[in-house]
Structure 1
Amino acid sequence: MTTAALGTQQGIGTSPQRPDGTLKVTGEFAFSSDLWADRMLWGATLRSPHPRARIVRVDITGAVATTGVHAVLTAADVPGAKRYGLEDRDQPVLAIDQVRYAGEPVAIVAADHPETARRACAAIVVEYEPLPPITDPVAAIDSADTVHDRGNLLRHVPIRKGDQSVTAPVVVTGEYEVGMQDQAFLGPESGLAIPAEDGGVDLFIATQWLHGDLDQVADCLGLPASKVRLSLAGVGGAFGGREDVSMQVHACMLALHTGRPVKMVYSREESFHGHVHRHPARMWYEHGADTDGRLVYVKARIVLDGGAYASTSKAVVANATTLGVGPYTVDNVLVDGYAVYTNNPPCGAMRGFGAVQACFAYESQMDKLAAALGMDPVDVRTRNAIAPGDTMPTGQVVRGPAPVADLLDRVRAAPQPPDRGGDLRELPGGVANTTHGEGVRRGVGYGVGIKNVGFSEGFDDYSTARVRLEVVGGEPAAVVHTAAAEVGQGLVTVQAQIVRTELGVDQVTVATADTTIGSAGSSSASRQTYVTGGAVKAACAAVRRELGRRIGRDDFALQGGKLVTGEGELIADLADVLGDVPVEETVEWRHRPTTPLDPLTGQGDAHVQYAFAAHRATVDVDVELGLVRVVEIVTAQDVGRALHPQSVRGQIAGGTAQGLGLAVMEEIQVDGGLIRNPSFTDYLIPTILDVPPMRIDVLELGDPDAPYGLRGVGEPPTISSTPAIVAAIRAATGLALNRVPVRPEHLTGT
């Protein structure tokens, strides 16, 4: 068949206005926290104050007696499976006989006012027997004292490639640490559960994975999946923090118990306890190279603190380990990655998913290697840069473009920012007038990173799309329906662009994502444009085939609501071909398969696609006061094909800003298993005053295996921006700086 669409002015490669854009800017967009229903009750959660304790007794008498309270539920009231989890069903819906982290849910309440629900929670009496918390992940690996009965080691991933006994004339070593970062989405967890007449429940929820939630919620409610219906509510950011279930089961339990709608909205402090965070990491690296700067071997040990429950820790440590050498060609590799249970807050998915932690370590090592060799830090990277046809530490051959050296050359060649002027706003500390520049030093640093796109290790990664082509008001129109979660990345816009491109119609409606259609997987791993975009494209192809069958020919193009020949001659109006019988096609689309890692050697074709980004950071540091100002960031990234160029640049800028946050600002302070800064007053995220001008160089080299040649965009900029900024601070100060975020005391020795 030689059908084609000649596109529209808002097809792929253009940047049409996002349908939610104006509403969000004006404050009119309905987020999940804005949901409302008649006779609605409010839910609240009682959480453990202890990181580890036995539950001796729970007395709900005072809460039940509180006026306005309609339900008080504990673990005994969970109607189905008592535990849930994305990979391991190890997390109790409500604590059963012990708590394993501070903030673990113990009981839930429904009341006619949110303050009444909170007061009822405070009236619940829980008698605890506190136990010494396990908080050191390194010590926990071999400890006889365990968080769970099966031991503290969640997963060990070994990578073995080449000669493990090889030596090299130039060797650099380092120990590195990454603190716990929060996704810091602006819309806290919220949702609305409404009991249904069939005994089931409808849940409107801000999430990243509707069907992932559905599987867990239905099991815990003891209901068939057909009686639990999830619809995507307005999502106020995600970045991995909404992959796991939070209050989904709780809201549904309360709704089914009371027979009334129940809404739950977390406070900001509760949100810090209610979702997973980025894994803190401790990493030990050894790089060996020849005197020309070519890598001979890399050895590493990576330990990730998974916290109290598994979440996605097994996949995160696999990413950290398989990508732990970076975008470099190395014949000999020995890497061991460990994900460990502790009584610290649970950790799971966050933008960059394991690759962020490893990149900080291996890029710091590349700078050390350059210094030991007396080489330029970019030259040592480009000399070892991976290229198409090279093999990863897992033995997987790199397919398609891998422009690592080109990306580095581009950021190096960009013009340097001008020297600072006399404006106080251009100095560290800004208008606070803390310095007049006496102790300010400038530094420049580089970073380059690698990230896998899509689910890995043989996971059945697919998406489902339904496309309906019909006549509305005498004009052809299309409706596209998937379960893919729009979490702010612009996926709704891209789906419409694909349909316009493939079917040549301007009027496209994107239906609300829900579980009445097959799964689209999670909005994570930079996969949705690739996988759901691929599914929408395939569904459009099925629609075109049906159109060809109706007109009895397969050599036609779609243009402006008409079927034309390749030469542009009219065959028929699309509205006439459709008539009163719309065309509707549903397709499941999968990318090329992956394979599990060998459990002994870590060898295997584990990943679908690799994405690369490079950064150059320029910073000013007041070496006397320990203040840092990021002056400029230059970045280059291969996106394969920019389906919505403006959104692509926005993703790169936003990801870079999150990497900046990890470099110099963001860390959840955990002391003895307790979060000490659960607020945006004490947990700092970059504002517009902290984010510098950015030069963004977008390459479109095209991946032959991907729809339209696209490559996942959202995560790579978060990965390489952090080490570039820290390298620039090192260049300005001469300090080792082996931990992020970099704090003022690290720069002044105080």
Structure 2
Amino acid sequence: MVRGASVGQEPPAAESAAATRLTFVVNDRPVSVQAHPARPLLDFLRDELDLTGAKLACDRRAECWACAVLVDGRVVAACVTPLAQVAGKRVTTIEGLGSPDALHPLQAAFVDAGAVQCGFCTPGMILAAKALLDQKSEPTRAEVAHAMRKHLCRCTGYVKIVDAVLLGAAALRGEEIGGGLAARAVGPAPGPRPAAVEGPVSVTTAVGRPVRSRDGVLRATGRHRFGGDLRRAGMLHAKILRSPHPHAEILGIDVSAARALPGVFAVLTAADIPGKNSAGFMGEDQPVLCADKVRYVGDPVAVVAATSEAVAEQALARIRVEYRPLEPLFNPFDALRPGAPRIHSGGNLFATRGLVRGNPAQGFREADVIVEQCYTTPYQEHAYLEPEAGLAYLDEEGRLTIATGTQNPHDDQRVVAALLGLPLDRVRIVNTESGGGFGGKVDTSVQGVLGLLVHRLGRPVRLAYTRAESFLATTKRHPFYLHYRMGATADGRLTALEAEIVVDKGAYASTGWSVIFRGVIHGTGPYEIPHVRVHCRGVYTNQSIGGALMGFGATQVAFAVESQLDLLAERLGLDPLDFRLRNAFRPGSTTATGQRLEGGVHIRECLEAVRPHYIRALVEARHARSLASQGHLRRGVGLACGWFGIGVSGFRHPGRRADAAAELTPEGRVRIYTGCAEMGQGSNTALAQIAAEAFGLPYEAVELVTGDTAQVPDAGATVASRGTYFSGHAVLQACERLRERLASRAGRLLEEDPGQVICEAGAFRSRLDPGQRVPLRELAAICRAEGIGLRAEGSLTSRVTDLDEETSQGIPYETYNYDTQLAEVEVNTETGDIRVLRLTAAFDAGRTIHPVKIAGQYEGGMTFGLGYALREGFEPGRTFSFTDYRLTRMDQMPEIVLINLDRPDPAGPFGAKGVGNLPANATAPAIAAAVRHATGVHLTAVPFTPDSLRRALVQI
């Protein structure tokens, strides 16, 4: 007998200590409590005082500082601060600093500067900034980064956070900052700084303005409730038993001892599932609880509900599972060998995809230079600061309701309903808006087992993953093994590309189909290549599940194709920028799938926008080399391009459609209903801006209802940069239809042709006689009395085509976004350390909806790419913490310079097309090119660690 593994935390040592009377002050209110002196302050604040602005994100290891509070003005990590240490002192949490109606200047600055994305780290960041500014009223950017270096953020890339601290510092010094509080330039860093955020927008043009996000205010004040912040009277706590084996048969599970433990209400296994025991966004091969086999370390085997997490952990320890270990397959090549054990009954080959255009053999005959190389890319962890968490209960109508952060509420609803054998309308998913997603919350996590427990028990149940559990049990970026061969003529024209790609799928399907598909389609880069053959195999292994992660598929192949272009340029004696420019797409180009690109094709403009920075960087690198020719520091410059097709991909899947609705309220406001999932990317704000623009209303006159499957239409998964483009189109269409209906009735009231009636300042008025107007509130009452509908639906069904199974010819995406990134590095040839000095990027994401938010999203994506390139190393079953997994911190950031082309795309809503999945793709190859320029080493494996670079330097 071998029991399963639980991935949790030991109960705090406080539980065994003697309670004592402690008194202190929290947010100016005296607290006197009989408590264990060693109890963590964080637990007391959250569980006893319901102050949930401070977050638990790192398993009480003080690795992330999302739990930060002030104690007598000094910032501390509340997760490791015992109550005894605050006795007689003053504690300030984010809730005590300001409120949504009375923001502290730092809270206002964080919202206005775009420093609040998902908001999970924001309370701790703001309090750390306050502690700094209380000591130093006018810090430099470097001083801010150093003082806040312990605080992790996965969304922003830190640039906007430093901006916000400096903006808040100026406000606290009493300096005038625009429109009421407006921005003088703060700090010397080049690139777009935060525009002055205007007060309530009182004109009808909302798109393109840095309006203040309403959800940002809630996050900056600690009032937003994430899944792990939710509580209900009488709720139970759940814990999951997970497999310690990568590959094994389950011979038996004995839960009797666990069920007998006082405080345990349920211990469930696969045998207790009444419906379909499977999940998976694009292939339902993943059991919610494993019945007869486990396929990776972390596979769920049983779930417990008990009166506390501590009791639930004790129950897990009493479950006995009998396993028969099977041979594990840890890489796709072992999994493909003849006679290898089958991970799934259908075999270990998950999927294949090919792309063929022209005659590659002919293309290589035409080439004067051919380069061939193998590349590898690794796992990458999403590392969103909010671990998976949720609360399930029966709502007032008796519906099973699951409140959690998700990118895919309606698909979650379908999975849970099928699991329990319930009608779809008896399951309700409420998206609490994630503390980061990046693709990792498109698959179900807590939803299935929470639904199972509440369906069985009829009472509320809470489940929150530990950080270790999140590392162990959730999806990652797929590792790719790539063999590339490319040819070009002497004058720099690409003639042919062949690529053989093998993808480590991990244990289950997840979004693997789309990752493989996208890797094949994007495998040429944004370049015209007449002869192409790409073949890709996705292979099951007994490793962590490969899923969706920012750029999924496009990120991996970008490293290979851009590195090949640098080899070709060197062999041909051509400048890398000019070589790319010679082959880059332009309007009228045809992609390798045969798609003709008409409008919105601006990769060439991206290259040209970067050119002056590239020339300056080359001059500076040559000068640095002349000054330090005998030293160990080498300067290098490199560039790379990226592209990303908007949408899930061109094959049959619900991702082709998004729905929305618009409604005129009795108060004369427009209310938007959308399933688009906010996770920090700013979709709530952008969709409200689109609605305001479409209706001719001020931004503040638009309300949003999001994420509740009982109220909103299905928008599909918020993934693959679908939010602005797909849901934006759906919202735009709904608003236009409602506006036209109302304009028709207003025209009759005004005795005016409906075509001459416009909406402005809360009323419909005559275009010819502005004095003739009917307020929206009055119009709503009239329409309601006459039975005229005050709600309209909108949708977008993507106009992509199903691609040929063998050649992938067709239209996989409606439109694409593009970028060029320039990296400037300094390499220490003794230690192998790579220091990125500056990243410059020019990007085409269509027309800008919100200039501050799009810049912040791009900076955050580049930081993903920076960590991917240099330091993020995930090992399945061995990486459990932010000490093991090294995220980029604030004081490790290079200077970032952004150039937003802001060119409307004819296909997008108001010309927009989204940006979220683009910026991580070109960063690693640009850095690799810069290292090659500095040292002569051609890097072929991500990440570029000091050890790997030192080994490579020895070989040249």
Q: CA deviation at 1:730?
A: 2.0
1:554 to 754, 758, 782: 754
Q: CA deviation at 1:198?
A: 6.1
What is residue 694 of structure 1 aligned with on the other side?
Answer: 896
1:565 to 747, 762, 766: 766
Q: CA deviation at 1:139?
A: 3.5
Q: What is the CA–CA distance in structure 2 between the aligned matches of 1:14 and 1:567, rounded to whole Å?
A: 28
**Letter paired with 1:127:** E
1:153 to 338, 346, 349: 349
Superposed CA offset, 1:695-727 (max 9, x none): 111112222122111122111111111211121
2:390 to 191, 194, 197: 191
**Letter paired with 1:140:** A
Q: What is the CA–CA distance in structure 2 between the aligned matches of 1:155 and 1:584, rounded to whole Å?
A: 47
What is residue 690 of structure 2 aligned with on the other side?
Answer: 498
- The 5 Å alignment of 1:27-46 reads 27-46=222-241
Question: Normalized against structure 2, the TM-score is what?
Answer: 0.74
The answer to whether the aligner puts 1:647 opposite 2:853 as a matched pair is: yes
The answer to whether the aligner puts 1:656 opposite 2:850 as a matched pair is: no
What is residue 930 of structure 2 aligned with on the other side?
Answer: 728
- The 5 Å alignment of 1:139-218 reads 139-145=334-340, 146-166=342-362, 167=365, 168-196=367-395, 200-218=399-417
**Letter paired with 1:128:** Y
Distance 1:580 1:567, change over 3 A: closer
Superposed CA offset, 1:98-155 (max 9, x none): 1000000000000010111112112111121111111121342354322111111111
The percent identity for this pair of structures is 38
What is residue 249 of structure 2 aligned with on the other side?
Answer: 54
Q: What is the CA–CA distance in structure 1 between the aligned matches of 2:512 and 2:241, rounded to whole Å?
A: 26
**Letter paired with 2:676:** A
Q: What is the CA–CA distance in structure 2 between the aligned matches of 1:740 and 1:206, rounded to whole Å?
A: 31
Q: CA deviation at 1:196?
A: 4.6
The answer to whether the aligner puts 1:121 opposite 2:320 as a matched pair is: no
Q: What is the CA–CA distance in structure 2 between the aligned matches of 1:407 and 1:495, rounded to whole Å?
A: 27
Q: What is the CA–CA distance in structure 2 between the aligned matches of 1:236 and 1:127, rounded to whole Å?
A: 37
State the secondary structure of the residue aligned to 2:250.
Answer: strand
What is residue 606 of structure 1 aligned with on the other side?
Answer: 812
Q: CA deviation at 1:581?
A: 4.2
Question: How many residue pairs align between the two structures?
Answer: 724
Does the 8 Å contact 2:429/2:708 carry over to 1?
yes
Does the 8 Å contact 1:456/1:608 carry over to 2?
no
Q: Which runs of 5+ in 1 are unaligned?
A: 1-5, 421-434
The answer to whether the aligner puts 1:352 opposite 2:352 as a matched pair is: no
What is residue 276 of structure 1 aligned with on the other side?
Answer: 475
Does the 8 Å contact 2:831/2:950 carry over to 1?
yes
Distance 1:196 1:403, change over 3 A: closer
Distance 1:92 1:592, change over 3 A: closer
Superposed CA offset, 1:442-475 (max 9, x none): 1111010111101222445222222111342xxx
State the secondary structure of the residue aligned to 1:689.
Answer: helix
Does the 8 Å contact 1:14/1:645 carry over to 2?
yes
**Letter paired with 1:44:** K
Does the 8 Å contact 1:7/1:501 carry over to 2?
no
Q: What is the CA–CA distance in structure 1 between the aligned matches of 2:769 and 2:558, rounded to whole Å?
A: 52
- The 5 Å alignment of 1:390-401 reads 390-401=589-600
The answer to whether the aligner puts 1:508 opposite 2:702 as a matched pair is: yes
Does the 8 Å contact 1:201/1:228 carry over to 2?
yes
State the secondary structure of the residue aligned to 2:669.
Answer: strand
The answer to whether the aligner puts 1:678 opposite 2:899 as a matched pair is: no
Which entry has the higher C-alpha Rg, 1 or 2? 2
**Letter paired with 1:698:** N
State the secondary structure of the residue aligned to 1:324.
Answer: helix
Q: What is the CA–CA distance in structure 2 between the aligned matches of 1:312 and 1:77, rounded to whole Å?
A: 27
Does the 8 Å contact 1:79/1:221 carry over to 2?
yes
Q: What is the CA–CA distance in structure 2 between the aligned matches of 1:549 and 1:713, rounded to whole Å?
A: 37
What is residue 679 of structure 2 aligned with on the other side?
Answer: 487
Superposed CA offset, 1:161-182 (max 9, x none): 1013212220001100001001
Does the 8 Å contact 1:502/1:537 carry over to 2?
yes
Q: What is the CA–CA distance in structure 2 between the aligned matches of 1:504 and 1:397, rounded to whole Å?
A: 35
2:459 to 252, 260, 273: 260
Distance 1:10 1:206, change over 3 A: farther
Q: What is the CA–CA distance in structure 2 between the aligned matches of 1:85 and 1:347, rounded to whole Å?
A: 12
Flag the structure with more relative contact order, 1 or 2, with Cα contacts below 8 A and sequence separation at least 6.
Answer: 1
Does the 8 Å contact 2:603/2:844 carry over to 1?
no
What is residue 429 of structure 1 aligned with on the other side?
Answer: none
Q: CA deviation at 1:744?
A: 0.9
The answer to whether the aligner puts 1:456 opposite 2:649 as a matched pair is: yes
The answer to whether the aligner puts 1:536 opposite 2:735 as a matched pair is: no
Question: Normalized against structure 1, the TM-score is what?
Answer: 0.94
Q: What is the CA–CA distance in structure 1 between the aligned matches of 2:248 and 2:211, rounded to whole Å?
A: 54
Q: What is the CA–CA distance in structure 2 between the aligned matches of 1:257 and 1:470, rounded to whole Å?
A: 39
Greater shift, 457-466 or 393-402, is seen at: 457-466
What is residue 109 of structure 1 aligned with on the other side?
Answer: 304
**Letter paired with 1:185:** Y
Q: CA deviation at 1:315?
A: 1.1
Does the 8 Å contact 1:143/1:152 carry over to 2?
no
What is residue 432 of structure 1 aligned with on the other side?
Answer: none
What is residue 442 of structure 1 aligned with on the other side?
Answer: 635
Superposed CA offset, 1:66-125 (max 9, x none): 221100000100110011211211111111111000000000000010111112112111
- The 5 Å alignment of 1:609-648 reads 609-648=815-854
Q: CA deviation at 1:518?
A: 2.0
Does the 8 Å contact 1:7/1:503 carry over to 2?
no
Q: What is the CA–CA distance in structure 2 between the aligned matches of 1:316 and 1:7, rounded to whole Å?
A: 44
What is residue 919 of structure 2 aligned with on the other side?
Answer: 717
Q: What is the CA–CA distance in structure 1 between the aligned matches of 2:607 and 2:896, rounded to whole Å?
A: 16
Higher strand share goes to which structure? 1
Q: What is the CA–CA distance in structure 2 between the aligned matches of 1:692 and 1:554, rounded to whole Å?
A: 55
